[in-house]
Amino acid sequence: MTQEPLTLYKLIVLYLLNKVSFPLTIAQISDLFLEKEYTSFLTLQQVIHELTEAGLISAKTLVNRTHLQITTEGRDTLSYFENRISDAIKDDISDYLKKNELEMRNESSIQSNYYRTVNGEFEAELTAADKDVNLVTVKLTVPTEELAISICDNWQKRNKEIYQYLTTELF
Same-domain pairing of 22 and 78: yes
pLDDT at 78: 96
Q: What is the mean pLDDT of residues 144-167?
A: 90
Final residue before a domain boundary, out of 67, 87, 108: 108
How far is residue 92's CA from residue 81's CA, in Å, rounded to a whole number?
18
pLDDT at 18: 96
**Residue 72 and residue 55 in contact, taking contact as beta carbons nearer than 8 Å:** no
What average pLDDT does the chain have? 89
Given a cut of 90, is residue 96 above it in pLDDT?
A: yes
Query: For helices 26-35 and 87-109, what crossing angle results, to 10°?
Result: 150
Query: What is the 3-state secondary structure of 20-87?
Result: CCCCEEHHHHHHHHHHCCCCCHHHHHHHHHHHHHCCCEEEEEECCEEEEEECHHHHHHHHHHHHHCCH
Question: Has this prediction a pTM greater than 0.85?
Answer: no
Query: Which residue would you say has higher pLDDT here, 108 or 169?
Result: 169
Same-domain pairing of 15 and 68: yes
Same-domain pairing of 90 and 161: no
CATH (domain of 164): 3.30.160
Q: What is the mean pLDDT of residues 83-103?
A: 92
**135: domain range?**
109-170
pLDDT at 1: 46
Pair type for strands 133-142 and 65-70: unpaired
CATH (domain of 93): 1.10.10.10
pLDDT at 79: 95
Residue 164 — pLDDT band, cuts 50, 70, 90? confident
Same-domain pairing of 19 and 34: yes
Same-domain pairing of 75 and 120: no
